[in-house]
Amino acid sequence: MSWTPDSWKSKPLAQEVAYDDPAAVEATIARLSQLPPLVTSWEVERLKMAIAEAQEGRRFILQGGDCAETLGDCQPGIIANKLKILLQMSMVLVHAGQKPVVRIGRLAGQYAKPRSKPTEERNGVSLPSYFGDLVNRPEFTADARRADPRALLDAYSHAALTLNFVRSLTAAGFADLHHPEYWDLGFFTRSGLPPELREEYMQTSARLSEALRFMEALGETSVDELSRVDFYTSHEGLNLHYEAAQTRRVPRREGHYLLTTHMPWIGERTRALDGAHVEFFRGVENVVGVKLGPKVDPHDAVKLLTTLSPWNEAGKLVCITRMGASEVDKALPPLVEAVTRAGRRVLWMCDPMHGNTHSTSSGIKTRSFDDILREIERSFAIHREIAGELGGIHFELTGEDVTECIGGGITEADLDKNYASVCDPRLNYRQALEMAFRIGTWMSKRAPR
Ligand code: PEP
Ligand code: CO
C-alpha cells in the first residue's frame, strides 16, 4: 500500500482540530516545512539501536516530562530541573539495574493534547477545549480557545529553544555521570525531601562515581557506554499537520524521517487501525511508541503492531501500556501473551500515570503514588511471569515542587498549594526520586523463574 507524508489526509482523523482559516494553516505548514529539522536521522537511528538493545534486555528506558508542556515554561530553570530529575532518576536506575539507561524527555514538542470532549462548559458558556499550546491557549476566553495556526510555528520555535538548551547542557558536561553533583543545585534546600531519601541518594551517587572510576582504572571499555548520557526527545504525535510538515527524505538513507522529535508516540485515543494517525506513523522511519489502555483487544494490538512495523524491525516499536493499578492484572497478561505469541518485536514500557487518574471530591484531578507504584510493580511481575522483562517506564513528572499527585509527603489537602499543571497531575521532584528507588529494587531483583 502506497504511503506519502500526506496519505493520512484520506483517513478518519480522530481529535481533529477545527481551524477556521484553512489558508492560514496551509501557509504556516508551508513555512514549517522549509525550516530546519529539530532532530536528525542520525540521532533517530541511534535511538533505534538503543531501543533494539533494550528489547534484548541490555538497556532500560526512562521517559518522562510534563503532561502538557507550555510555551511559558520554556525557561532555563524549569528545563534544567526537568533534566536534573531525569538524570538523578536514571543514575539510581543505572546503579540498581547495572545497565545503561536511555533517557527520553516528554519535551521540546509535547504541546498537543487529546481531550475527552471537544468543548468545555463553564457557567453556561461553552468554548472549545484546550488542546495544548500547539493549538490554543488554556484561558477560558473565546480568543484564547480559538485554534490559531500561528501556534504551530510558535511551538516549533519553543521546541527548538528548549532542545538547544538541553543539547548545550548535555554536550558540555552537565549530564556527565561522573559529576552527579552538577544536578544537585538546590537539592539540599528543597523542603520536604526526607533525610533518609537524601541519604540514600547521596550514597547511591557516591557508590556509582566510585564504581565508574574503578572500572576506568581497569581499562574497562564499557564504562563509556554506561556513563555517556544520551538524551532524546519524544511527544505525542497528535497534530499531523505539524508532524507531516517536518517529515522528509534525507540524503543517503531510505524512507521518510519525522524530524520534530526522536520518538513520537500514538496516543490511546488515536490508535484506530484505519485512522489517520496509524496511517501516518506506519510510514516514518522513527521509533514509534503506542499507548495501550485496558480496553485494548490483544488481537487488534497485534494487527496494529504489524501495520506499524510489517517487517518486524528491531528497535522500531515501543508498547507503552497504561492499564491502571486496578486493571493491570486483568488486561496486561493477555496482551503480552498475544504479542509474544505473534512474534512481534516490541519494547514493553509501563506508563503508570494515565490509568490512575481520578478526581477528588472537590473536583481536582490527581493520582496516588501508591497506585502508580502498584501498576509498576505488577507490570514488572507480569512480564517476568510470562516471558520477558519490562524495558522501561514512562512518567509525567517535573523537577519543580508541585502538589499534584497524592503520596510521598502530599495529602489531598495539600493539592491546591502548588497545582501548576495545565493538564494531568505530575510527580514532583521528591515523588519522582522516590519512585526511582522503588523501581530500582525491582531492577536489581532477579526474575523469580
Ligand atoms: C498522555 O500521555 O499525556 C496521554 C494523553 O496519554 P494516553 O494517550 O495514554 O491517554
Ligand atoms: Co497526560
- pLDDT tens for 240-263 read 999 999 999 999 999 999 999 999
How far is residue 251 from each of residues 33, 159, 255, 448, measured CA to CA in Å?
17, 24, 10, 48
In the chain, the percentage of residues whose pLDDT exceeds 70 is 95
Cross-strand pairs, 140 = none
Contact 288, 265 (CB under 8 A): yes
What pLDDT, on a 0 to 100 scale, did the predictor assign at position 148?
98
Pocket test for ligand 1, best of 354, 356, 372, 397 (most atoms within 8 A of CB): 354
Predicted confidence band of residue 228 (pLDDT cuts 50, 70, 90):
low
Instruction: Find where cell 519490562 sits.
Output: 390
Tell me which of 162-171, 267-276, 325-334 is least confident: 162-171
Please tell me the predicted confidence (pLDDT) of residue 449.
42
Q: 5 falls in which pLDDT band (50, 70, 90)? A: very high
Asked if pLDDT for residue 387 goes beyond 90, the answer is no
Contacts of the segment 335-341: beta carbons below 8 A, 24+ positions apart = 335/292, 335/296, 335/298, 335/301, 336/382, 336/383, 336/386, 336/387, 336/388, 337/298, 337/386, 338/298, 338/299, 338/301, 338/302, 339/298, 339/301, 339/302, 339/305, 340/386, 340/387, 340/388
Average pLDDT rounded to a whole number, residues 267-274:
98
Pocket residues: Cβ below 6 A from ligand 1: 67, 114, 236, 267-269, 291, 322, 354
Domains present along the chain, CATH in parentheses: 7-443 (3.20.20.70)
Residue 235 CA to ligand 1 center (angstroms) comes to 10
Q: How far is the CA of 50 from the centre of ligand 1 (A)?
A: 23
| Residue 191: pLDDT over 90 | no
Task: Using the predicted structure, report yes or no on whether residue 447 has a pLDDT greater than 60.
Answer: no
- Band (pLDDT 50/70/90 cuts) for residue 182 is confident
Backbone φ/ψ region at 296: left (φ over 0), alpha (ψ -120 to 50), beta: beta
Distance 212 CA to ligand 1 centre (A): 37
Closest atom of ligand 1 to 269 CA is 8
Q: State the distance from the centre of ligand 1 to the C-alpha of 429, rounded, in angstroms.
A: 21
Q: What is the mean pLDDT of the chain?
A: 93
Residue 288: phi and psi, rounded to 5, are -125, 135
Residues contacting 215, CB < 8 A, separation 6+: 222, 223, 226
Task: Give CA–CA dist 247/33, Å, rounded.
Answer: 8
Give the pTM. Answer: 0.95
Would you say residue 144 has pLDDT above 60? Answer: yes
- pLDDT (0 to 100) of residue 223: 67
The atom of ligand 1 lying closest to the CA of 270 is: 8
Nearest-5° Cα angle at 43, 274 to 89: 90
Please, which pLDDT band fits residue 212 given cuts at 50, 70 and 90? confident
Tell me which residue has its CA closest to atom 4 in ligand 1. 267
State the closest ligand 1 atom to the C-alpha of 106, by its place in the atom list counted from 1.
2
Q: Which atom of ligand 1 is nearest to the CA of 291?
A: 9
Q: 419 C-alpha vs ligand 2 centroid, how far in Å?
A: 15
Say how many Å lie between the CA of residue 202 and the centre of ligand 2.
31
Phi/psi for 363 (5° steps) reads: 85, 15
Position 15 scores a pLDDT of 98
Ligand nearest to the CA of 113: 1
How far apart CA 447 and CA 240 sit, in angstroms, is 41
Most informative mutation of 236, 357, 426 for ligand 1 (most atoms within 8 A of CB): 236
Instruction: Output the CA 53–ligand 1 centroid distance in Å.
Output: 25
Q: Which of 270, 424, 426 to mutate to test the pocket of ligand 1 (most atoms within 8 A of CB)?
A: 424
What was the pLDDT predicted at 6?
97
For the stretch 74-126, pLDDT in tens is 999 999 999 989 998 998 998 899 888 999 999 999 999 999 999 999 999 99
pLDDT at residue 357, as a whole number:
98
Return the percentage of the chain with pLDDT > 90, whole number: 80
Question: Is the per-residue pLDDT at 185 higher than 90?
Answer: no
pLDDT at 91: 87
Contact 29, 245 (CB under 8 A): yes
**pLDDT of 175 strictly over 80:** no
Average pLDDT over residues 353-372: 97
Q: Which atom of ligand 1 is nearest to the CA of 68?
A: 3
For ligand 1, what atom is nearest to the CA of residue 423? 3
Task: Give the number of the ligand closest to the Cα of residue 238.
Answer: 1
Residue 112: all three cell numbers together: 498537543
Q: Measuring from atom 1 of ligand 1, which residue has the nearest CA?
A: 67
Mean pLDDT computed over 335-353? 98
